């Protein structure tokens, strides 16, 4: 999976927020994390993955401008996301700091993919599960929930 396939989540312009509760109703649908290197495991928090827990150094959320079903490189249902304009540059700088490292994509607090960042992301990407293919309904449900969280409060 190329790193043009990443994603972010709704947040009130939070800059760096470690999620203390990866599960629960108030957790963002979509988040990004930094996969801990071996020497960083002591400071990492374990998040559930498809097969094993994944040690993450930090988890971030970004405001989402849009999310919709979009085909992954193999033509299977995935979720296209677009970072909100106000956070796009922050997202690009953050992903630039991760070039050569693995970034975790979390959906509902569970790690679904850990692509290696090959270049800074401009503020959009595709989220897909690396271990199984989502159905059209599953991808649509995720995109709808991301959009619902992205709506301004009030």
Q: What is the pLDDT of residues 25-42, one digit of tens each?
A: 457 899 999 999 999 988
Indicate the number of domains in the chain.
Answer: 1
Establish if 15 belongs to a structural domain: no
Q: Which residues are CB-neighbours of 96 under 8 A, at least 6 positions away?
A: 120
> Please, is 138 exposed, middle or buried when counting C-beta atoms within 10 Å of its C-beta (0-12, 13-18, 19+)?
middle
Smallest CA-to-CA distance from 67 within 85, 79, 76, 78 is with 79
Tell me, yes or no, if the pTM score tops 0.75: yes
Q: What is the pLDDT of residue 106?
A: 94
Establish if 1 belongs to a structural domain: no
Establish if 24 belongs to a structural domain: no
Which one is predicted more confidently, 68 or 2?
A: 68
The whole domain housing 109 covers 30-150
Establish if 23 belongs to a structural domain: no
Establish if 17 belongs to a structural domain: no
Question: What CATH number does the domain containing 95 carry?
Answer: 3.30.1360.200
DSSP character string of the chain: --TT-------SS-SS---S-SSSTTS-SEEEEEEPPGGGGGG-EEE-BSSS-EEEEEEE---EEEEEEEE-TTS-EEEEEEE-HHHHHHHHHHHHTTTTSBEEEEETTEEEE-PBP-S---SEEEE--SSSPPPHHHHHHHHHHHHHHHSPP-
Establish if 13 belongs to a structural domain: no
Tell me the pLDDT band of 12, cut-offs 50, 70 and 90: very low
Residue 103, sorted as left (phi over 0), alpha (psi -120 to 50) or beta, turns out to be: beta
Smallest CA-to-CA distance from 104 within 40, 50, 38, 39 is with 50
Q: What is the pLDDT of residue 51?
A: 84
Q: What is the pLDDT of residues 44-81, one digit of tens each?
A: 999 999 889 999 999 999 999 999 999 999 999 999 99
Q: Is the pLDDT of residue 110 over 90?
A: yes
Establish if 130 belongs to a structural domain: yes
Establish if 8 belongs to a structural domain: no
């Amino acid at each position: 999976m190329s790193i043009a396939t990443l994603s972010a989540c709704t947040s009130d312009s939070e800059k760096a927020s470690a999620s203390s509760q990866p599960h629960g109703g108030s957790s963002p649908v979509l988040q990004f994390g930094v996969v801990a290197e071996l020497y960083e495991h002591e400071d990492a928090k374990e998040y559930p993955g498809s097969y094993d827990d994944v040690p993450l150094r930090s988890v971030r959320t970004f405001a989402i401008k849009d999310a919709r079903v979009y085909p992954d490189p193999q033509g299977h249902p995935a979720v296209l996301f677009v970072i909100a304009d106000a956070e796009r540059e922050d997202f690009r700088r953050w992903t630039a700091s991760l070039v050569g490292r693995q970034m975790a994509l979390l959906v509902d607090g569970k790690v679904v993919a850990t692509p290696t960042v090959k270049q800074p992301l401009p503020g959009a990407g595709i989220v897909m599960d690396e271990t199984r293919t989502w159905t059209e309904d599953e991808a649509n449900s995720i995109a709808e929930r991301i959009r619902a969280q992205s709506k301004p409060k009030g």
